[in-house]
Structure 1
Amino acid sequence: MQQKSPGVTLRALIIGCILILPNCYWVVQSEAVWGTTYLTIVSLFFNVTFTLLVLVGLNALTKQFNPKGALKQGELLTIYVMLCLGSSVAGNNFLENLVLSLGHAFWFATPENEWSELFFRFVPDWLAVKDKIALQGFHEGQSSIYTIKHIVVWLKPLAFWACFSIVLIFTLLCVNILIRKAWAEEEKLSYPIIQLPLELTRNGTGSVLFSNRLFLLGFSLTTVITLFNGLHFHYPVVPDLRVRTEIGQVFTDKPFSAIGWMPVIVYPWIVGLVFFIPLDLSFSVWFFYLFAKAQRVMASVVGWRSLPGFPYFNQQTTGGWLGLCLIALWLTRGHLKHVVVQALRFRAITEPVQMESRNYRMALIGFFSGLSFLVVFCVAGGMSFWIAITFFVLLVGLETTTTRIRAELGPPQTELAWVGPDTILVTALGSRRLGGKNLTMLTYLYFTDRALASHPMPHQLEGFKIAERVGIRPKRLAIAMMIAVTVGVFSALWALLHSAYKTGVTSGFTGYVGIPWESFRRLAGWMHYPGETNSAELAFIGIGLTFSLAMMLLRFQFLWWPLHPVGYALSTSGWVINYIWFSFWVSWLIKWIILKHGHFKAYRNATPFFFGLIVGEYAIGCFWNLLGITFGFHTYGFFES
């Protein structure tokens, strides 16, 4: 650990807060309004990395003319962490989902869908926006949020949900404070995602990286590719340099036609990121993706394809993720016991021990206080006490597991879609037993657990690891994180409402804004057709959990075991894996060849090239993205999802 440095300075906080607002607006415009690139769906946010790159360039110029005025590495990384936290709440997997849902049911209710009879009576006035006159401008555009009528209608529900969101993220921060030492200092997890920000900001200018020939080669390669692809989007005469095809259409006869859609795409930035994750994980991801396709073929052979839901990939993913959660708890059990002992120790022999005890005690108090607020919020919204407790225990468990995976292995995405606590509860208890009030509140909580790709908890723990690496005080960084979250929440809410009333969610947004339809159609289905416990889905959750635990046990017993349970959980999780599995294979093959023939020294020497692949595509991809947003036209999206 380095000597403590003043990374969290006043100017770093001010710059971070100022930059959060345009970044949130950028995220909303790109993901919701234009739908070109989902900036926050990946582990290393596109917009934040681009902003950091610009800051490093400006800082290098400042250092030439005013060395004392240039930002230090710790300050640049503080800004980076703040932007990650601020951007995480604005994206498609968090507040965008919430804001689009608050008035959705009341705008789209019709006599035919019977939503008003089914669940309107379960929605408190403070929980949602019910005024159809105010919602008209929101959905049709050509209006403004800056009217007294619109502000008054949105003020109460947004105030409650803003508090809810901030407290939820604070509660997760407390969990990170409790586990930080175990995962960063005791187990020494590798944190692959933070490697690029650390290299970009070294010496405050990234001069070591930018002067490396292999980095410049990788950077130039993806710069040219992305530049040509962007030009091809507007001028088809320019060559398209993308490597992409679809091989599922080749298999037209049974049983192989069951393979379905199977794109083969090479994303250079994913090849670059995957190069830094362990070889067994990159192998496991593409192996289990093919294994999932094989399950479809076998189901067709034996005639099981007609069974609803088979082969239950979402349930397998749920079980796999729950297994990973149990594994993480088991590996951290000694530290958690130490945390409790230290928190209850009010007198310590030495000052460091006393400080550690105080930190753990405050984190535990913060966690249980935050959890209590969240439960009370949901109970006030109509949810049963024990259902609320169970929901948040499951949510914290899944969030913590995602954070562990990011810290240990650093995959480019951890989507975990459609397998959240709401789905688990309905599967285990049945919609009939849960009842209308619980189901309605679960629907409004859909923004917290539909997909965990952009959620803030992994960025918090990565921020603490950055603090350890460059000598930033963790306490000060934790405060900076919560400032960033607060600014980010209100910036995101403003950006969403401003864009919606100007453009119109229904008439003008071209991104994926169908998440509210997912949640409320699902709610209507639960209410129309109340169900009991789904034994088949529970069985496949159990299969996924058992398979995950068995693989980890084999890894403990045999060092040569090549399959990782995280690869199994990721390979059936959500939609994004279909786009990126082949890039995993390409990167795995390159890394395997380098390690086999050049050993670790060759791997270390090659890393700047793969940093260059990432930075080049991020830089030019974001340039195209900003160009389209600024001048109001659709442009090249360098990552589909």
Structure 2
Amino acid sequence: MAWIPLVLAVYFSMICIVVVLRRQWIERERLTFPLVQVPLAIIEENDDKPSILKPFYKNGLMWAGFALPFIVGCLNALHNYWNFVPNVNLQTSIPLFRNTTAQTIALSFPMLGFSYFVNLDIAFAIWFFNLLARVEQGLFGILGVTSTQKLYYAGGFPILAHQGMGAMLVLAALGLWTARPHLRAVWRKALTGDAAIDDSDEILSYRVAVCGLIGSVGFVAAWLWLAGLAWWILPVYLLAMYLIFIAITRVVAEGGIAAARAPLIAADFTTSALGTAAMGPHSLVALGFTFVWAADIRTFVMASAANGLKLAEEQLGRGKRGLFWAMALAITVSLIASIATVLHLSYAYGGINLNGWFFGPTGGPVYPFNFISGHLNNPVGSNPVGWVSTLAGGGIMALLMLARQHFLWWPLHPLGFAVSTISMTNYISFSVFLAWLIKTVILKYGGPVLFRRAKPFFFGLILGQFTVAGLWLIIDYFTGMTDNNIYWV
């Protein structure tokens, strides 16, 4: 039970951060939030012809897009029942630079759909910088440039992981620096109650959000300290953790990458930056257990809350205070249901018989213990290659962001560089490229009118995959089929 207050404090701090940044991201910077486009389209009304059935479901293009992932998903699902049904393989890879690296070619229907609603310069930067990262890794491989550092939750090439981490940290830090006029206003409202600053359209008042953030971060720090994390490590870890949270949320809100995580997790970054020799076993154990809430965070509360606030901005107007309690209820129900489900499945069927990643002896559950035992058995000092790579990545990211702000003609959006070294980006980059190419052609030859007319098709691509996955989950439940993996992303 000691874990539940910690997790709730982390989640509450995430919501408070989103409340503080909402106006900056939505009203001032006008981020596109591609992930909310489908629900907005579904609930859109036709004022001319009121009907029970929304216009979204009457659009033939939407159903054409829906059919593609639905049919492919059904074929793959049926193939797992009967081998004679053809299986549609949506992924391959091209070896590069004497097999030192490979470029994944994979079609993800949702990412193709989401990326259609991403700004062209961002979509271009995502696939371009990912391809550049593959070239960089290949050149390093041919030249024999390598690193022997052991990272427990990163890609297979530590130099690129550190480079991407530097870019991710700078993305968050410079984003906060750019937002400093807004942050000063938030602080002034929280501290003095300045009537000139209106926070009535937020789900929490700025005073509650700021005090809640300070209190929840303080609680997390105290919990980690009591768990054994040394006081001098705490600020490094917490700063890295929250900057990662902010950066990933920004990536989701602006880049439409539905599942993303940082090139390094905060625990790996901390041990690499400070070294493990001076940490001691208590600190390493405490860092290892942070994997629970700060490791494979492909989807997490801060990104969900940010998208939720964007959706509320479009639909609820100024009456949003009740939304916080809806979020709190959703988190509470999810925690209770997930804990109960995991315990039931583990005891009823035996965890070792279930999904290998979530329950298996080589999957996610052993990562914290591998991290702890590995560092205890092989203590090392601060990693200089990691520092150089992180500073290089951060420096390049800073230059890209400055160029973006000062030169209107600058074509390379810095967000693409921040996610270029993530393994997930390598998987989705081809889908992003296709969306960028299609959108470029549509805008060039059909203009904004054709772009708007084509939207339902891409809505269908997204909805079709999630629908077919849910449908076969229900069918598999009643038939007893297991491991019927239709899609990955």
User: What TM-score, normalized to structure 1?
Assistant: 0.70
Report how far residue 301 of structure 1 moved. 3.1
Task: Choose the corresponding residue for 2:225, options 354, 369, 379.
Answer: 379
Q: Deviations over 1:368-397 (max 9, x none)?
A: 111121111111111223423332232122
Q: Which amino acid aligns with 1:582?
A: F
Report how far residue 557 of structure 1 moved. 2.6
Task: Choose the corresponding residue for 2:301, options 438, 451, 456.
Answer: 456
**Residues 355 and 481 of structure 1, relative CA distance in 2, 3 Å threshold:** closer
Q: Deviations over 1:613-636 (max 9, x none)?
A: 111222112212332234321354
2:459 counterpart of 1:611: yes
**Residues 408 and 577 of structure 1, relative CA distance in 2, 3 Å threshold:** closer
Report how far residue 355 of structure 1 moved. 9.3
Aligned to 2:109: 268
CA distance in 1, matches of 2:236, 2:23: 27
CA distance in 1, matches of 2:41, 2:395: 40
**Residues 437 and 368 of structure 1, relative CA distance in 2, 3 Å threshold:** same
Q: Which amino acid aligns with 1:216?
A: W
Report how far residue 571 of structure 1 moved. 2.2
Maintained 8 Å contact 1:225/1:242: no
Select the structure of larger CA radius of gyration: 1
Residues 314-353 of structure 1: pairs in structure 2 closer than 5 A: 314-346=161-193, 348=195
Aligned to 1:578: 426
| Partner-residue secondary structure (3-state), 1:257 | coil
Residues 505-520 of structure 1: pairs in structure 2 closer than 5 A: 505-513=351-359, 514-520=363-369
Aligned to 2:28: 186
CA distance in 2, matches of 1:540, 1:220: 45
CA distance in 2, matches of 1:637, 1:349: 54
| Partner-residue secondary structure (3-state), 2:280 | helix
Aligned to 2:438: 590
Maintained 8 Å contact 1:218/1:612: yes
2:42 counterpart of 1:200: yes
2:127 counterpart of 1:282: no
Report how far residue 558 of structure 1 moved. 2.5
Aligned to 2:380: 531
Maintained 8 Å contact 1:296/1:311: no
**Residues 531 and 207 of structure 1, relative CA distance in 2, 3 Å threshold:** same
Report how far residue 347 of structure 1 moved. 6.3
Task: Choose the corresponding residue for 1:291, options 115, 120, 132.
Answer: 132
CA distance in 1, matches of 2:428, 2:244: 22
Maintained 8 Å contact 1:199/1:209: yes
**Residues 327 and 347 of structure 1, relative CA distance in 2, 3 Å threshold:** closer
Aligned to 2:479: 631
CA distance in 2, matches of 1:241, 1:571: 28
Maintained 8 Å contact 1:316/1:544: yes
Task: Choose the corresponding residue for 1:438, options 279, 283, 286.
Answer: 283
CA distance in 2, matches of 1:172, 1:353: 18
Q: Deviations over 1:334-375 (max 9, x none)?
A: 10011111222246379x57998x921121111111112111
| Partner-residue secondary structure (3-state), 2:30 | coil
CA distance in 1, matches of 2:339, 2:442: 47
| Partner-residue secondary structure (3-state), 1:431 | coil
- The CA RMSD over aligned residues, in Å, is 2.4
2:397 counterpart of 1:552: no
Residues 167-186 of structure 1: pairs in structure 2 closer than 5 A: 167-186=9-28
**Residues 284 and 348 of structure 1, relative CA distance in 2, 3 Å threshold:** closer
Maintained 8 Å contact 1:312/1:537: yes
User: What TM-score, normalized to structure 2?
Assistant: 0.90
**Residues 206 and 603 of structure 1, relative CA distance in 2, 3 Å threshold:** farther
CA distance in 2, matches of 1:369, 1:205: 46
CA distance in 1, matches of 2:200, 2:90: 57
**Residues 377 and 593 of structure 1, relative CA distance in 2, 3 Å threshold:** same
CA distance in 1, matches of 2:173, 2:234: 21
CA distance in 1, matches of 2:257, 2:30: 17
Maintained 8 Å contact 1:282/1:588: yes
Q: Deviations over 1:120-157 (max 9, x none)?
A: xxxxxxxxxxxxxxxxxxxxxxxxxxxxxxxxxxxxxx
2:322 counterpart of 1:476: yes
| Partner-residue secondary structure (3-state), 1:247 | strand
Q: Which amino acid aligns with 1:377?
A: W
Q: Deviations over 1:481-537 (max 9, x none)?
A: 112112211111111111111121224444444123222122112111211111111
| Partner-residue secondary structure (3-state), 2:128 | helix
| Partner-residue secondary structure (3-state), 1:256 | coil
- Bigger drift between 535-544 and 619-628 goes to 619-628
Aligned to 2:79: 232
Unaligned runs of at least 5 residues, structure 2: 46-50, 150-155
Aligned to 1:420: 265
Report how far residue 232 of structure 1 moved. 2.7
Report how far residue 307 of structure 1 moved. 5.9
| Partner-residue secondary structure (3-state), 1:304 | coil
| Partner-residue secondary structure (3-state), 2:5 | helix
Aligned to 2:254: 408
**Residues 295 and 512 of structure 1, relative CA distance in 2, 3 Å threshold:** farther
Task: Choose the corresponding residue for 1:301, options 134, 142, 151.
Answer: 142
CA distance in 1, matches of 2:185, 2:119: 30
Aligned to 2:390: 541
Maintained 8 Å contact 1:625/1:635: no
**Residues 363 and 412 of structure 1, relative CA distance in 2, 3 Å threshold:** closer
| Partner-residue secondary structure (3-state), 2:192 | coil
Task: Choose the corresponding residue for 1:391, options 222, 237, 242.
Answer: 237
Unaligned runs of at least 5 residues, structure 1: 1-158
Report how far residue 306 of structure 1 moved. 7.3
CA distance in 2, matches of 1:440, 1:479: 34
CA distance in 2, matches of 1:504, 1:544: 44
Maintained 8 Å contact 1:296/1:305: no
Q: Which amino acid aligns with 1:399?
A: F
**Residues 288 and 206 of structure 1, relative CA distance in 2, 3 Å threshold:** farther
Aligned to 1:44: none
Maintained 8 Å contact 2:249/2:303: yes
- Bigger drift between 187-196 and 230-239 goes to 230-239
Q: Deviations over 1:553-592 (max 9, x none)?
A: 221232232222221222211x333332221221111111
CA distance in 1, matches of 2:308, 2:92: 38
Aligned to 2:153: none
Report how far residue 205 of structure 1 moved. 6.0
Aligned to 1:118: none
Q: Which amino acid aligns with 1:359?
A: S
Q: Which amino acid aligns with 1:555?
A: R
| Partner-residue secondary structure (3-state), 2:105 | strand
| Partner-residue secondary structure (3-state), 1:277 | coil
Aligned to 1:81: none
